[in-house]
Structure 1
Amino acid sequence: MPTENQFERTGDGEKRDGRGSPNTGSVDRRQLLGIVATTGATALAGCTFELDDDGFEVGFGSDDDPEGDATEEVRGEGNGAADPEGPEGEDDDLDDEGETAEGKMDDPDDEGDDPDDETDESGEEEDDPDGETDENEDEEDDPDDETDENGDEEDDPEPPFSEDCIGIDPTDLAIEEISGGRWRVNSGRSGLLVFDEKDDAETAKAILEHYEFTSFCFVARPDPPMTYWLTDGDAPSASSAPAGGEDCIGVDPTDLAIEEISGGRWRVNSGRRALLIFDEKDDAETAKAIIEHYEFTSFCFVARPDPPMTYWTR
């Protein structure tokens, strides 16, 4: 800092600096900068220099000091914190713009993600064709299902004959005595079979309940040479015989034939065994078709000879 030796007193008591300039009690900025420069001190912008008998003081402008505005102006020019419109303020604006630009740079990144997303969507679209392939595979399976259905139709084709049947309820069977000391098996109010012996009627009732017959069918009524029974529209079958046993003969449904016999009648044979005799050939052919259709393997009787009840099983 400058010392008092750098100033000279004049005759009128004024203090002058080493260059003979009067000191008015305040040193202007240029003088201050020069003094500070000669002393190696750091320049202080916007300060005042006061000289008295003890030395000098450096003061800073305040709100009351008219130069405070200038001081703050310089300070605004120095750090850009006070004046938002100063160059540094513009730098701040640029920084803000830079942040916006970074935000804009994020958008391309997001756009960069979009192709990936599009790739994923493409992948999903690739999966969709797979799904379509699965659907096609399912569609390919459908013909197999149709084949199965056709196979079922081959197993159970529509019968090439019409059937003459009545429905029965195997849970509502009863035996009653009728005129002539005979015994009749009834299903509800419908009479089914008539026997000379009560034991035979009871055997017939036990068989109906065992196989749970639901239909009683005839070929060539009245006085049909062939009767057969069905369970829910199919050939009856059971893992065991009825409690009273059965009277049956074996039948090969793949080895059936019709032959004409004496009296212009027609007989249905299984191999060398005679099964049924009809007056009309058409009835014999119907009987043969029924045996083949239901694949009957047993021909059974109740109370032979001249049995009132016959039935077929598989």
Structure 2
Amino acid sequence: MSFAAAAWADPESAGRDQERGGQAIGLQSVQQQAMRPAPQIQRPALQPLERPVFQREDCLPVRPDQLEVARRDGRWKIVDGDQWLWDLGARGQARANRTLDIVQHYGFTQACYIGRPNPPMTYHLVGQEAPEGQLRGEYCLAFSAETAAVRRSGGGWQLVLGNPTPPFGSTRRINENTRRIDFGDNESGARQALAVLQRYGFSQRCFVGLRGDNFEYFRR
């Protein structure tokens, strides 16, 4: 029997066959579209966040329980046997005693430098961590390591701490030099300093004396 005769004999069957044929054609069309390469969508390139690169540290060991204050060559120093670690100046006996109290209170085990000789920045560690806590009477300026930045100013490079906050109740006026650390033409040193602040989470910049032969340290 021909297709025409079958359709005449059973119109419902013929309609179902035509419907199946249409579905098959539609399925082939979907499959063909699926096999086509996807259109290329142009998306803006992601820009990586600029983060300072942490470099190898320049640190010396400290034995806090072996330290003492001594007058050497007319100057007051923190010494370990025949070696001196910090020089607090010719009139720095009180500063030297206070510095020793701080070093032993926090238990500093490393003194680290950026830009030796004459490093613009010195920081201290306890093991491999930042010092934590506080000591009565210390003078510290609070800042955020995440908002600190490296800036070029007057032909030199600076680590800028923003607007540090003095201790509660302090009547001292914040010296402009405590807001920044000058690295001269040492750009890599300034960027290493920023990386150090962020790696250890330092949030306090502390001083024993703000002029001349002072002692400076960072803590959380």
Question: TM-score, structure 2 length as denominator?
Answer: 0.65
3-state SS of the aligned residue for 1:293?
Answer: helix
> For residues 241 and 272 of structure 1, what CA distance do their matches in structure 2 show?
23
Deviations 1:218-249 (A, max 9, x none): 000000000000001110012x415xx21111
Q: Match of 1:254?
A: 146
CA contact (8 A) 2:149 2:160 kept: yes
Select which of 251, 275, 279 maps to 2:180.
Answer: 275
The higher radius of gyration belongs to 1
Cα displacement (A) at 1:272: 4.1
1:230 aligns with 2:107: no
Alignment gaps of 5+ in structure 1: 1-158
Task: Name the CA distance, whole Å, in 2 between partners of 1:215 and 1:188.
Answer: 17
Residue 87 of structure 2 corresponds to residue 194 of structure 1? yes
Partner of 1:162: 56
Deviation, 1:307, is: 4.4
State the partner residue of 1:83.
none
Contact 1:248 1:299 (8 Å CA) reproduced: yes
List per-residue Cα deviations over 1:168-187 (Å, max 9, x = no partner).
1111111111223x211013
CA separation in 1, counterparts of 2:87 and 2:138?
18
The reply on whether 1:214 has 2:106 as its aligned counterpart is no
1:241 is aligned, of 123, 128, 135, to 135
Secondary structure of 2:108's counterpart equals coil
Instruction: Classify the secondary structure of the residue corresponding to 1:227.
Output: strand
Mean Cα displacement is larger for which, 222-231 or 272-281?
Answer: 272-281
Higher helix share: 1
Q: Distance in 2 between matches of 1:234 and 1:189?
A: 28
Residues 289, 162 of structure 1: CA spacing in aligned structure 2 closer, same or farther, 3 A cutoff? same
The residue number in structure 1 matching 2:197 is 291
Change in 2 beyond 3 A, CA 1:248/1:184: same
Report the Cα distance in structure 2 between the residues aligned to 1:223 and 1:286, rounded to whole angstroms: 16
Q: SS in structure 2 opposite 1:184?
A: strand
TM-score, length of structure 1 as denominator length: 0.46
1:1-314 alignment, distance < 5 Å? 160-180=54-74, 182-196=75-89, 197-238=92-133, 240-242=134-136, 245-262=137-154, 264-272=155-163, 274-279=179-184, 280-314=186-220
User: One-letter code of the match for 2:141?
Assistant: I
Question: CA–CA distance in 2 between the matches of 1:166 and 1:292?
Answer: 21
Query: Contact between 2:143 and 2:163, CA under 8 Å: does it hold in 1?
Result: no
State the structure with bigger RCO (CA 8 A, min sep 6), 1 or 2. Answer: 2
Q: State the 4+ residue runs in structure 1 displaced beyond 4 angstroms.
A: none
Report the Cα distance in structure 2 between the residues aligned to 1:210 and 1:254, rounded to whole angstroms. 27
Opposite residue 226 of structure 1, the aligned amino acid is M
Separation in 2, partners of 1:261, 1:160: 23
Q: Is the 8 A contact 2:70 2:77 kept in 1?
A: yes
Task: Tell me if structure 1 keeps the 8 A contact 2:95–2:214.
Answer: no
Inter-partner Cα distance in structure 2 for 1:201 and 1:272: 29
* Structure 2 letter corresponding to 1:216: A
Amino acid at match of 1:302: V
CA RMSD of aligned residues (A): 1.5
The one-character-per-residue Cα deviations of 1:100-154 (angstroms, maximum 9, x if unpaired) are: xxxxxxxxxxxxxxxxxxxxxxxxxxxxxxxxxxxxxxxxxxxxxxxxxxxxxxx
SS in 2 for 1:171: helix
- Percent pairwise identity: 30
